[in-house]
Amino acid sequence: MRVLITGGSGYVGSRLTYYLLEKFSDLEIINYDISLFGDEHLPNDSDKYKYYKKDIRNSEDFEEVIKKHSVDVVLHLACISNDPSFELDSSLSKSINFECFEDLVKVSKVNNVKKFIYASTSSVYGISDNPRVDEEHELKPITDYNTLKAKCEPLLIKYVDNNFHGIVIRPATVCGYSEKMRFDLSVNILTNHAYINNKINIFGGEQYRPNINLNDMCRLYEMLIFKDLKKFNGEIFNAGLQNLKISEIANIVKRVVEKRKSKKVELNFTKSDDVRSYRITSDKIQNILGFNFEFSIEDAVEELCENFENGNLTDTFNTKFQNIKVLKNKLEKKEFI
């Protein structure tokens, strides 16, 4: 089987790539990514792995690679992720996150790709007091990032048929270790500060966030790559395990880090203007698709601590670990097309 991952150089894509390469000897992975945030961490090209440093907005290049490798599955992860990064250059972000999306789907379908998996986001729900937001809940995106991620979903669904299967995943906020580490995601940020500085600054704290461990994210994509999706064609699934307040996440981090380091971690609370708060239910993906979550926030914090201790994570306040700062620097230097 041949799987093309757009955004395969990123936080999720990199970990997924290593995960799949380690587990399967008969799977060919094609990473299609302009690699805005670096590519020095990627595996070397081999019979099982090919890397194309290309822009998803160029549909001709995308089609050429699809044809060359007779791709079976496209997993679309590539985007300018999260609200602050998106807003740095909204026209650029729109061109990457939305304007090229339908062409990617059409090119895939015309060239006999069997399956297209789209990674949307659970933040399309915006703000909700409902403790169990399911896939039928009204979408109330409050930013351009959320809005455009949501608008891509029906574009995929309108192309699905018996020969071209499509599925939409709305992941929660991902946490845990990756070869392309990010320390601008809630659990990862808090763990970095707790482990290195023995102190966590919490902005607000009452906002709810759904979370998913990166190991479960990889397991889910593995399932979708290999599973016959005929019965689930055009379906949308939430993917998240623990809905917790930021303050509750901070206390989990505090407990785990204090136990590992035998040092007290201080919690400092500051008011925040961040109004985003929502909780999701992932009953559908568990009951209908048959996916079971195995990893928790606690597991992610433990894993991050292990990688601090074994030297895999160093200089962790370097801006290279924060997408918004990397992108801002590239835009200022006009390094991006």
pLDDT digits (tens, 9 = 90+) for 18-46: 999 999 999 999 999 999 999 999 999 99
Tell the residue number behind the tokens 């992610």, with chain if given. Answer: 300
Tell the residue number behind the tokens 């270790």, with chain if given. Answer: 177
Query: Does residue 201 lie in a domain region?
Result: no
CATH number of residue 104's parent domain: 3.40.50.720
> Can you give the residue range of the structural domain that contains 107?
2-177+210-243+278-295
Give the pTM. Answer: 0.96
pLDDT digits (tens, 9 = 90+) for 185-196: 999 999 999 999
Q: Into how many domains does the chain fold?
A: 1
Query: Does residue 13 lie in a domain region?
Result: yes
**Amino acid letter for position 174:** V
Query: Does residue 45 lie in a domain region?
Result: yes
Query: Does residue 332 lie in a domain region?
Result: no
pLDDT digits (tens, 9 = 90+) for 55-87: 999 999 999 999 999 999 999 999 998 777 777
How far is C-alpha 163 from the geometric centre of its chain's CA atoms? 27
What separation in angstroms does the CA of 227 have from each of 73, 113, 259, 296?
11, 15, 40, 24
Query: Which run of H or of E encompasses 118?
Result: strand 115-119
